[in-house]
Amino acid sequence: MAKNSELRIYNSALFLLKDMYERIPKFSKQYKYILGARMIDCNVELIKEISAANRARQKSIRLEHINKLINITDEMFVYIRIAEELKQFKSTSAYPYLIEKLAEISRQGTGWRKIYLPQSR
């Protein structure tokens, strides 16, 4: 079991959270407190699931946490898309950048899942 700080997926999720904390205060008041809060909450849950998956000893429990983190990334894709549609990102490059960072986390989670899925013969 590696330390969380040594995991690339964990560091990517932390970096994304930091980035969200910098961008969300720039949202309009109407969206900052609902959409922005949900985006941050999802990101925090993502980090918690990564940490829980890393701590889990049993493969089935680890796989359960990995599946949750993949579901959370899917939810975050939706929130980022909504923020883009509502024109809440001040920069035109923010949306593709955030989507790419989230896709990187999703790919890493999917890679973890492939390792722990039962192998069929």
Per-residue pLDDT of the chain (121 residues; tens, 9 = 90+): 678 788 899 999 999 999 999 999 999 999 999 999 999 999 999 999 999 999 999 999 999 999 999 999 999 999 999 999 999 999 999 999 999 999 999 999 999 999 888 765 4
Please state the φ and ψ torsions of residue 120, each to the nearest 5 degrees. -95, 145
Give the per-residue pLDDT at 22.
95
Give the per-residue pLDDT at 1.
60
Cα 79 from chain centroid (whole Å): 11
What is this structure's pTM?
A: 0.89
Longest dimension (CA), the chain: 55
**Domain spanning 4-116, CATH class:** mainly alpha
Domain ranges of the chain: 4-116
- Which residue from 40, 45, 42, 50 is spatially nearest to 3, judged by alpha carbons? 50
